[in-house]
A and B are shown apart, each in its own frame.
Chain A
Amino acid sequence: MNAETKSMLKNKKFVGSFIMLCLLFALLLISLFIVFNSSLGWFAVSGSASVTDMQIIVNRFDYELLVDRIASTTAFDNPGAPVAGANPSVGDGEFDRIDSNSDPVYPGVSPFKSTLAASPYSYSFAEWSTNDASKLAFELVNETQTTIDSVHYRYLMPGAHGTLTFYLRDRTGSTVADLALTTNSFYYTMIPDPEDSSQEIPHVEEVINDTVNALLRGHMLFFKSRTGSGTVADPYVYGGLVDNELLQIDSGVLLDDDGNITLPTVTKNLKGEDVTCYQITLYWEWPLTYGEINDNIGVAASQTKRYPASLRTYMDDHRDFFFLTNQNSSDPELLSDGYNDGDQLIGENANFLVAFISPL
């Protein structure tokens, strides 16, 4: 081997080493980016300044999710204390609606909220805390009531309907936000007191029965739009079924196969500053009967039907979401029985429903 070849070899080694170095440097940059990214999420969440109008629950680089703040200063000064007007002293089992003094006692609400506040859920409650929270729970708006012994209750039940409202602050103006909408249920029971086995204490835990949870997906329906006034002559007409537990928002537009919905903007006060957000209102309904669904699925544009045609596809694809029994039947009467049996099973097994919304 002569000197020239030796030098060339060394040169080759040098070139190889240099390329390797560049690759490693690139790898380093990528790693740095990933680490930076993931830690920043953490930093953004940890901010917890007080707010006056809204609470941040999700803070991303490019968007924030917010909900209306519903606490009074009382709760802020003394977290966990009853909000003036109507609220939560823990243990009295009162279902604390913030907008009304007259709502009655709902069995199990206190232990339910305790469960949701404890690990692994660790939710803060909008009426208890005014801080930003990484997990925030608030009451679903139920527009219907049922009267039992002259007392008005706002229970979820067949025939009930209402809304769910939150806000998105788009920091870039063209953000794509994918949100998951999932429903879970909880049940209330009495268990022996671990400290005194002669006593029973209320206990709430998540329903893990897959059949119940599947049925909820077909009985508690969420829609992206609603028209009409809810009267007999002018019933609610729904559009944009949320059929795959997914909400996609792109540049202030709520995407839907049947036609995108341009989200209205509202100006809200956030930490002493006016901010403009998109308002997202979802409309939910628990259809009364199978007949109510079947008679009201839109097929032609000329007919006024209460539900979008996509509900038919959803029902055909997921018979187990709708019918507990007679799933494979085509007899409307048997399907109606199957739907009612589903209602019955949900009611027997679940005492509370929670609709979770989280970024994907």
Chain B
Amino acid sequence: MERKIILYKRLHWLFGVIAFLLALASVVTVPVMAWFSLSRTLGAYAPIAKPEALFIGAGHRDFDAVNHVFTGDYFENIRYLYFEGIDVGKGAYDAVKGSNYYDYVFCVFGKAIPYYKLQLAYTTNNQFDYEIFHAAEYTATEYGSLDDAGKSGCIEYVTHTETPETYYYKATGSALTGSFLNLKEENGEKLGLTVGDTAGAGMTNLHEATYGAYVNVQKYAEPLYWQSSSVTKEVGHAQKDFINYYILRVYMNGKTENDRETDVICIAAKSA
């Protein structure tokens, strides 16, 4: 009996040591295993596009034209481009077009975009024509020192900052060249190609791209798409900040009566 107990005691001691060592080993190896299972992965990778720093705003943005940097982050949101106050009988008159028109200012600004295109998309309820001009900007002081001919054709823009400032814009040169993508003329009206229309030379029917499978679209709701020439591109700046002002000229096209027709106009800028 005594011998047995001693034997057991020895075994007890031995097993204890082994169990202790193994327990220790398990403590050490479990983190090691975690390390290995962490390491066993697959990784599917892909490059992410750099977003284009190209934006559209309404009127003025503070800009240091010498160093090509914006001073401050504030810009006039494009939602300040109001079309209210169009009175079809009034506005300036363009003899060549034979139409009254209204001018509105907007700007394109960004960073490190060497060239870009301007795009317009609009519905045709009103049968207005739209043209885009480059615009010169004058501060109130600069405007004050202009002669009558210089002041003629300037439009006023008041900023929406805490202390509003007034700037003046005037179209320079001739309208930007460009082309329609989906134009058709029907009874003297300019319309977008719609379901079932055959596209004329250089035109594409964009109904499906606009409305998908939906076919019950009123003809004036088929938007007309226009974009500026890809040959004479709009110039930004290859490395630095830039801002360009534009005048959107809306021709009334002989419309004589104010009514409740509504049109949607989208202006877009795309690097080219």
A residues with a Cβ closer than 8 A to B are: 7, 10, 13-14, 17-18, 20-21, 24-25, 27-28, 31-32, 34-35, 37-39, 41-42, 45, 57-59, 65, 67, 95, 106, 108-109, 112, 116, 121-123, 134-140, 142, 146, 148, 153-157, 162, 164, 166, 185, 232-233, 343-344, 346-348, 350-359
> Nearest A residue to B1 by beta-carbon distance?
A10
Residues of A within 8 A of B2 (CB): 10
Question: What are 15 A-B residue pairs whose CB atoms fall within 8 Å in the complex?
Answer: A13-B5, A25-B19, A28-B22, A31-B23, A32-B22, A41-B33, A138-B42, A140-B46, A148-B271, A155-B47, A156-B48, A347-B51, A354-B43, A355-B44, A357-B43
Interface of A is mostly: mixed
> Nearest A residue to B18 by beta-carbon distance?
A28
B51 CB contact (under 8 Å) in A38, A164, A348: A348
- Contact indicator per residue, chain B 220-244, by CB within 8 Å of chain A (1) or not (0): 0000000000000000000000000
Please provide the chain B residues from 69 to 85 with a CB less than 8 Å away from any CB of chain A in the complex: none
B47 CB contact (under 8 Å) in A41, A109, A121: A109
User: A351 touching B48 by the CB < 8 A rule?
Assistant: yes
Residues of B within 8 A of A351 (CB): 47-48, 50
User: B33 touching A37 by the CB < 8 A rule?
Assistant: yes
User: B36 touching A45 by the CB < 8 A rule?
Assistant: yes
Is B266's CB within 8 Å of the partner chain A? no
* Closest-CB distance, B75 to chain A (whole angstroms): 14
User: How many B residues have CB within 8 A of the partner chain?
Assistant: 41
Query: In the complex, A324 Cα to B215 Cα: how many Å?
Result: 37
User: A352 touching B26 by the CB < 8 A rule?
Assistant: no
Is B139's CB within 8 Å of the partner chain A? no
Is B25's CB within 8 Å of the partner chain A? yes
Which of B8-16, B185-193, B194-202, B251-259 is near enough to bind chain A?
A: B8-16
Query: In the complex, A16 Cα to B114 Cα: how many Å?
Result: 88
Residues of B within 8 A of A185 (CB): 48
- Contact indicator per residue, chain B 25-59, by CB within 8 Å of chain A (1) or not (0): 11001101100111111111111111100000000
Q: A135-B42, A137-B44, A138-B44 are in contact. Are A17 and B30 (CB under 8 A)?
A: no
Query: In the complex, A343 Cα to B22 Cα: how many Å?
Result: 52
User: B43 touching A136 by the CB < 8 A rule?
Assistant: yes
| Known contacts A148-B271, A153-B49; 15 further A-B pairs (Cβ under 8 A) | A13-B5, A24-B19, A28-B19, A38-B30, A42-B36, A45-B36, A45-B40, A59-B40, A112-B45, A134-B40, A135-B40, A136-B43, A353-B46, A355-B44, A357-B42
Q: A34-B30, A38-B32 are in contact. Are A354 and B208 (CB under 8 A)?
A: no
Interface of B is mostly: helix
User: B42 touching A38 by the CB < 8 A rule?
Assistant: no
Is B212's CB within 8 Å of the partner chain A? yes
Is B209's CB within 8 Å of the partner chain A? yes
Query: In the complex, A34 Cα to B25 Cα: how many Å?
Result: 9
Query: In the complex, A358 Cα to B44 Cα: how many Å?
Result: 12
B12 CB contact (under 8 Å) in A21, A146, A355, A358: A21
Query: In the complex, A154 Cα to B46 Cα: how many Å?
Result: 8
Residues of A within 8 A of B96 (CB): none
User: A356 touching B5 by the CB < 8 A rule?
Assistant: no
B40 CB contact (under 8 Å) in A10, A108, A358: A358
User: B45 touching A140 by the CB < 8 A rule?
Assistant: yes
A27 CB contact (under 8 Å) in B9, B19, B212: B19
User: B33 touching A38 by the CB < 8 A rule?
Assistant: yes
User: A142 touching B46 by the CB < 8 A rule?
Assistant: yes
Q: A13-B5, A28-B19, A233-B208 are in contact. Are A39 and B29 (CB under 8 A)?
A: yes
Residues of B within 8 A of A31 (CB): 19, 22-23, 25-26
Residues of A within 8 A of B149 (CB): none
* Closest-CB distance, B117 to chain A (whole angstroms): 13
User: In the complex, which of the residues A7, A14, A146, A166 has the most CB atoms of chain B within 10 Å of its own CB atom?
Assistant: A14
Residues of A within 8 A of B213 (CB): 232-233
